[in-house]
């Protein structure tokens, strides 16, 4: 198998994602006649060939994530020598969350001809039958594993207007949907496609909140593709937070945290509308009203702030995952938080907190303090009385 001029070529060939009858005649021809077949898993390749009732005549090599850097140069050498190299993954198209990208880049660098034998794609197949907008979409691949990382990751997609496509495992899908319901509006349209093209194919088209309930009641198994409707124009407008609307003032030290300190910090940060205030509190042996609270214990301060519509997030300031998750949550509270007031007793997370928001209120000088106190008095003594 050669180009018309007898030169070699690199071919990326898509394999079935479930239904063997989706194998193209071109894929069959490549597997039968290519000089070299580079497979993500050689055992699966031979199983595929057996089900197709064909024999792989060329040299078969294992080509996967951990060896593609060392194998890419050799495969390109073989193409330069006139060989046809066919690359296949376990299912779907190579390079799409599968090995192959390193090889393609090496081939481009060497001006080696590359083509593909197209076929099934779980992401595109799920999109096609989802009922969600298909004119503009983005493929996001696999979702981060840790809960804190999920929150950060989804927060960056809050204003994404395109249909989003994700891959997720059955073991993590419930927690992922729980995090998504925290970040995205629960009434967003979402789709969960399972075992596409197989006998037990199942597609759930529901609102995001209802999809979570569905998964909790009937946990899915098998290969999953998760799709989410993009943000509406209204959602984007409501969720956009400018630098002037999103700041943090950090209270340091081992002393008590009082409601007056919170108001003071917000005033120092230049805020007047405090009903959307987000308060991140380090509960690592924090002293509140003279009482030492243990890590993860309930906060009496929550009830005090509730009357003023505060959103209180309690964390262990020594846990960087909790800090990251707290700031990710703060960005989504009530659409547009006007301020974040954070206190860290140990101080280990301060720099990390600053990086999360890109702004940090430093300690005021005497003039700033006096001005803030004046503004606080004008705001009314009742505001500091719980």
All domains of the chain in start order, with CATH: 9-119 (3.40.1010.10), 123-238 (3.30.950.10), 241-377 (3.40.50)
Residue 37: strand, helix, or coil: strand
Per the structure block, which two tokens stand in for 251? 């209270």
Residue 275: strand, helix, or coil: coil
Question: In whole angstroms, what is the distance from residue 153 CA to residue 171 CA?
Answer: 19
Question: In whole angstroms, what is the distance from residue 183 CA to residue 157 CA?
Answer: 9
Residue 84: strand, helix, or coil: strand
Beta bridge partners of 356: none
Among 113, 208, 198, 127, smallest CA distance to 167 is for 127
The dihedrals phi and psi of 224, each to the nearest 5 degrees, come to: -120, 140
Question: In whole angstroms, what is the distance from residue 110 CA to residue 340 CA?
Answer: 53
CB atoms within 10 A of CB 91: 20
Beta bridge partners of 251: 343
Question: In whole angstroms, what is the distance from residue 270 CA to residue 277 CA?
Answer: 12
How many helices, marked H, and strands, marked E, lie in the chain?
Answer: 14, 16
Provide the greatest CA pair distance for the chain: 88
Buried b (16+ CB within 10 A) or exposed e, 357-380: beebbeebeeeeeeebeeebeeee
What does each of the 386 residues of the chain score in pLDDT, given as a tens digit? 556 566 799 999 999 999 999 999 999 999 999 999 999 999 999 999 999 999 999 999 999 888 888 899 999 999 999 999 999 999 999 999 889 999 999 999 999 999 999 999 999 999 999 999 999 999 999 999 998 889 889 988 988 999 999 999 999 999 999 999 999 999 999 999 999 999 999 999 999 999 999 999 999 999 999 999 999 988 876 655 433 333 333 333 333 334 444 444 444 443 334 445 566 665 554 433 333 333 332 333 344 344 445 566 776 655 656 666 766 676 666 544 444 444 443 333 333 333 333 333 333 445 544 554 454 444 434 333 33
| Beta carbons within 8 Å of 10's beta carbon, 6+ residues apart | 75, 76, 79, 85, 87, 103, 104, 107, 112, 113, 114, 115
Residue 251 near residue 349, CB atoms below 8 Å: no
- Beta strand 189-194 with 224-228: parallel, antiparallel or unpaired? antiparallel
Q: Return the H-helix or E-strand segment holding 72.
A: helix 68-80
Q: Cα 156 to chain center, whole Å?
A: 8
Among 326, 345, 347, smallest CA distance to 337 is for 326
Residue 170: strand, helix, or coil: coil
Residue 227 near residue 166, CB atoms below 8 Å: yes
Q: What predicted TM-score, i.e. pTM, was given to this entire model?
A: 0.62
CB atoms within 10 A of CB 155: 21
| Beta carbons within 8 Å of 99's beta carbon, 6+ residues apart | 40, 63, 64, 65, 68, 87, 89
Strand order in the sheet with 248-252: 248-252, 340-344, 278-282, 311-315
């Amino acid at each position: 198998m050669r180009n018309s001029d007898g030169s070699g070529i690199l071919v990326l060939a898509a394999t079935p994602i479930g239904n063997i009858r989706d194998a193209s005649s071109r894929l069959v021809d490549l597997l039968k006649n290519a000089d070299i077949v580079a497979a993500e898993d050689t055992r699966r390749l031979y199983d595929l060939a057996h089900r197709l009732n064909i024999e792989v005549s060329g040299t078969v090599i294992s080509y996967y994530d951990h060896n593609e850097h060392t194998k890419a140069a050799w495969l390109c050498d073989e193409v330069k020598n006139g060989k046809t190299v066919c690359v296949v993954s376990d299912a779907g198209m190579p390079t799409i969350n599968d090995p192959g990208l390193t090889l393609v880049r090496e081939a481009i660098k060497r001006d080696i001809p590359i083509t593909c034998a197209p076929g099934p794609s779980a992401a595109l197949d799920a999109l096609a039958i989802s009922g969600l907008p298909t004119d503009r979409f983005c493929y996001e691949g696999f979702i981060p594993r840790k809960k804190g990382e999920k929150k950060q990751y989804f927060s960056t997609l809050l204003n994404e207007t395109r249909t989003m496509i994700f891959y997720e495992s059955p073991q993590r899908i419930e927690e992922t949907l729980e995090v998504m319901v925290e970040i995205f509006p629960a009434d967003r349209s979402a789709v969960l496609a399972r075992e596409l093209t197989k006998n037990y194919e199942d597609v759930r088209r529901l609102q995001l909140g209802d999809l979570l309930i569905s998964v909790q009641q009937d946990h899915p198994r098998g290969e999953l593709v998760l799709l989410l409707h993009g943000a509406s124009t209204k959602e984007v407008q409501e969720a956009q937070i400018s630098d002037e609307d999103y700041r943090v003032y950090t209270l340091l030290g081992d002393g008590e945290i009082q409601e007056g300190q919170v108001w003071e910090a917000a005033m120092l940060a230049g805020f007047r509308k405090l009903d959307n205030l987000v308060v991140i509190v380090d509960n690592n042996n924090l002293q509140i009203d003279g009482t030492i609270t243990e890590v993860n214990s309930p906060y009496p301060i929550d009830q005090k702030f509730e009357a003023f519509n505060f959103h209180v997030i309690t964390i262990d300031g020594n846990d960087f995952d909790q800090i990251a998750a707290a700031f990710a949550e703060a960005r989504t509270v009530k659409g547009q938080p006007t301020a974040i007031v954070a206190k860290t007793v140990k101080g280990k997370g301060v720099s990390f907190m600053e990086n999360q928001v890109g702004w940090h209120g430093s300690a005021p000088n005497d003039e700033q303090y006096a001005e803030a106190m004046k503004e606080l008095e004008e705001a009314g003594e009742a505001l500091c009385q719980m």
